[in-house]
Amino acid sequence: MDIILRQDVDKLGSAGEVVTVKDGYARNYLLPRGLAFEATEGNRRRLEAERQQRARRAAAEVGAARDEAAKLEKVSLTFTMKAGDADKLFGSVTSSDIAERLEAEGFTIDKKAIVLDEPIKSLGVYRVPVRLHHDVKPEVRVWVVKE
């Protein structure tokens, strides 16, 4: 039976491909779970319409992320922390701290979107990337100064 995959299926193919599978596999697994359609002309048109809609939505998401990125590039956050010898902090600046400050500035950024390999533990100026979209990663300037 020829089917059109709606989603990626391991060891079978990726979304949008027309593949041939056994009738039982299609009827009992792929079709009931919504992973595939029968390969009719009407379903091919429906799949193409879904693909175009997904592309428009993705373009809108990237556009919104780029607008937000332009605003984020201008943001500079200052953290005043207690520091000891050799400018080592008595605490650290984490992605949660940065997310809270960004929230205070009017940005709603999840702490998981802030790409910080390890917490900041010394004084200085850092450029911290923020993952808004897989193509858009602006950097926020973080100043850590001595109290």
Give me the CATH number covering residue 109: 3.10.430.100
Tokens 């792929």 locate to 30
Give the global pTM.
Answer: 0.69
Q: Check pLDDT > 90 for residue 25.
A: yes
Instruction: Give the pLDDT band (50/70/90) at residue 48.
Output: confident
> Is the same domain home to 88 and 115?
yes
> Is the same domain home to 62 and 84?
no
- The number of distinct structural domains making up the chain is 2
Work out the mean pLDDT of the chain and round it to a whole number: 92
SS (H, E, C) 82-132: CECHHHEEEEEECHHHHHHHHHHCCCCCCHHHECCCCCEEECEEEEEEECC
Lowest average pLDDT, out of 29-33, 83-87, 90-94, 107-111, goes to 83-87
Residue 123 lies in domain: 75-146
Instruction: Give the pLDDT band (50/70/90) at residue 44.
Output: confident
Give me the CATH number covering residue 37: 3.40.5.10
> Is the same domain home to 102 and 142?
yes
